[in-house]
Amino acid sequence: MIVAGRQTAFVFLIVTIALFYIFLEMARRGRKIPIRTFPAIAAIPEAIGRCAEMGKPLLYTSGYAMETLSNPDQGPQTLASISILSHVARLAVRAGVKLYYFTCIKDSLPLVEETLRTAYLEEGKPEEFDPLQINYQAGQSPYLNAVMGFMQRERPASNILMGGFYYESVVMGEAGNTIGAMQIAGTANTHQMPFLIATCDYCLIAEELYAASADITKDPWILGCLRGEDIMKLVILVLLIVGFVISFARVPILIDILKR
Amino acid sequence: MGYPTTIDGILGIWTALALMLFVYSYPLYKENQLFRFAEHFFIGLSLAIAAIIAIQTTIRLAITPLMAGKFYYIIPILLGFMMYFILHRDYRWISRYPIAILVGSSIGLGMRGTIIPNILSQIISTITPPKAGADALSWFNFVYIGIGTILAVMYFLLTFEHKGPLLYPTRLGRWIIMIGLGAYYGNTVLFRMAMLSGRAQFLLQVLGLVPF
């Protein structure tokens, strides 16, 4: 028996899972799922080209993200960021650009290391991979300090800031601006989007971060989930529009259903 | 709290002031030796504190219950030890299991609290009209939030190109989002100013110009 007050939530959960499964299967069977174009992703080769031309390194960082992959809001952002990192790393290795990665997320380290190692391997330069390219600092403020110090000392030509950012976003964005770096950013943390938009040349906001990683990897699993999520959003849009219109007539039927 | 009178108290506030000024030398001047000292000092100190907290937490949450006879606590302890295989090139794969359990269980727990507060409650709040006799501003807010939410959700349709019938609603949605983010920006600037004034107050307190 489903507890009163959670029945609609249960239906929502079942419908969402069903939609994810249907579109995931469709994507796996080769059905093409289109995805919106993102200027921030299209600008990544330009950012790497800038580093190559100037002979400067590239800085990539995934934000504070509560220092763990296991946070349900922050972890997926870090994973999406690591997917984008694999694309960035391959382009950087191909162009001969040294990439430096900064993080304070301890449990993401094996993933990051494997991602970078694989990128070097796939580009035929495994001997060029240096684990010291990955910088780990415990804690948000030490991590921020280290990134700022790196920016001032090494003067990267481009910075890519993708992931679950907190207050470090504005400080890093500003520090990157001070050294004249080209900056591409992305976060799903609403409270930090304004700062990344203000300080960076390109920015992915909210779910665009996940969609961008799907666009890069072309992974049918992620693409299928994105399509399922979009269909769920259409359902929510219908509920919002119908609910909004009937609310003027003070008909509470939809609210009552949603509260069940 | 008055001005510290003990030697360690006085030393503490002056050290804090010196480190604060070293850090501020970065935005006010440029990267320099003093900032670099503060940066490395801070990173090292934080790492030491993190290590101590980790050890204390392990003792409190795992070792103490285990010693008290709760033998099933051996499972998380073993999973924790498995994490250390990350340092061994040949057995690194072992560390993936505890990480997988950690990530999977946390996402499962997180899902529990997602649908009602993040989706259903948001829809209900958006479509609940102001009470009878509400003023014009309440109705304006209701209409603005309702239309704004619909347009902003449309902007986040990611597997549909923003063309044809979606062109103008999504463009408007982007404007609505930017207005919202602008308000966030202003709010945070004010908060940061309050933090800056807190630091300025600390500076004056240490110099004895204002009371502690």
Listing DSSP states for B105-117 in one string gives HHHHHHHHTTIII
Phi, psi of B112, deg, nearest 5: -55, -40
Q: Which residue among A152, A240, A248 sits closest to B123, beta carbon to beta carbon? A: A240
Interface-testing mutation among A171, A215, A236, A260, with chain B (most B C-beta atoms within 10 A): A236
Confirm whether B46 is domain-assigned: no
Give pLDDT, residue A251: 86
pLDDT digit string, tens, across residues A186-233:
999 999 999 999 999 999 999 899 999 888 888 888 889 899 999 999
| Both structure tokens of B188 | 């945070």
Task: Evaluate if residue A119 carries a pLDDT over 80.
Answer: yes
**CB–CB of A212/A40 below 8 Å?**
yes
Of all residues in chain B, the one with the smallest CA distance to A13 is B115
Query: Cβ contact (<8 Å) for A244 and B159?
Result: no
**Both tokens assigned to B177:** 């989002």
pLDDT tier at B31, thresholds 50, 70, 90: confident
N-terminal to C-terminal alpha carbon distance within chain B: 6
Residue B36, pLDDT > 80, answer yes
**Would you mind telling me the total number of residues written for chain A in this entry?**
260
Confidence of residue A138 (pLDDT cuts 50, 70, 90): confident
**Residue B123 belongs to some domain of the structure:** yes
Q: Which residue has the higher pLDDT, A220 or A239?
A: A239
How confident is the prediction for chain A on average, in pLDDT?
92
With an 8 Å Cβ cutoff, is A215 touching chain B?
A: no
Domain count, chain B: 1
Note the pLDDT of residue B30.
82
Half-sphere CA count of A94, side-chain side, radius 13 A: 12
d(CA A55, CA A69): 33
Contact call for A230 and B123, based on CB within 8 A = no
In A, which residues are within 8 Å of B54 by CB distance?
Answer: none
Percent of chain B's residues with pLDDT above 70: 100
More confident residue, A37 or B10: B10
Nearest CA distance, B79 vs chain A (angstrom): 13
Q: Which of A139, A153, A258 is nearest residue B124 as measured by Cβ atoms?
A: A258
Burial group, residue A218, by CB count within 10 angstroms (0-12, 13-18, 19+): exposed
Task: Print the domain residue range for B132.
Answer: 115-212
Residue B50, pLDDT above cutoff 90: no
Chain A residues whose beta carbon lies within 8 Å of the beta carbon of residue B153: 233, 236-237, 240
Q: Is residue B182 domain-resident?
A: yes
Q: Is the ipTM of this complex over 0.90?
A: no
pLDDT: which is higher, A184 or B86:
A184
Query: What is d(CA A254, CA A101) in angstroms, rounded to the nearest whole number?
Result: 49
Contact A141 B128 (CB under 8 A): no
Using one digit for the tens of pLDDT, what is the confidence trace for A55-114? 999 999 999 999 988 888 898 899 999 999 999 999 999 999 999 999 999 888 888 999
Cα distance between residue A258 and residue B113, in whole Å? 16
pLDDT band at residue B153 under the 50/70/90 scheme: very high
Q: Which residue of B35, B103, B138, B158 to mutate against A (max A Cβ within 10 Å)?
A: B158
d(CA A148, CA A171): 8
Model pTM score: 0.84
Assess contact for A135 and A146: CB atoms under 8 A: yes
pLDDT of residue A181: 97
Instruction: Kindly report, residue by residue over B87-105, the tens digit of the pLDDT.
Output: 787 888 898 899 888 878 8
- The fold of the A39-217 domain, in CATH, is Rossmann fold (3.40.50)
Residue B132 domain flag: yes
CATH 3.40.50 range(s) for chain A read 39-217
Q: Across chain B, what does the average pLDDT equal?
A: 90
Partner-chain residue, chosen from A12, A33, A70, that has the shortest CB–CB distance to B106: A70
pLDDT band of residue B188 (cuts 50, 70, 90) is: confident
Q: Starting at the earlier edge strand, list the strands of the sheet with A99-103.
A: A134-136, A99-103, A58-61, A158-162, A182-187, A202-205
The percent of residues in chain A predicted with pLDDT above 70, rounded, is 100
pLDDT band at A252 (very low <50, low <70, confident <90, very high): confident
Name the residue with tokens 């320099």. B32
Give me the pLDDT at residue A63, please: 94
Task: Kindly state the tokens that stand for B143.
Answer: 């209409």
A1 close contact with B: CB closer than 8 A:
no
* Cα–Cα dist A214/A76, whole Å: 12
Compute the distance between CA of residue A232 and CA of residue A90 in angstroms, rounded to an integer. 34
3-class SS of residue A134: strand
Residue listed under structure tokens 């940061």: B192
Strands A202-205 and A182-187: parallel
State mean pLDDT over B37-58: 91
Minimal CA separation from A13 to chain B, in Å: 7
Residues of B with CB below 8 A from A176's CB? none
Which residues in chain A have their CB less than 8 angstroms from residue B102's CB? 68-70, 107
List beta partners, residue A187: A205
Yes or no, beta carbons of B103 and A110 under 8 Å apart: no
Amino acid, single-letter form, for residue A137: Q
Whether residues B42 and A142 touch (CB distance < 8 A) is answered with yes
The whole-number pLDDT of residue B118 equals 86
Q: Which of residues 126-185 of A touch B (CB under 8 A)?
A: 137-139, 141-142, 145-146, 148-149, 152-153, 170
How far CA B162 is from CA of A23, A54, B28, B166, in Å, comes to: 21, 36, 44, 5
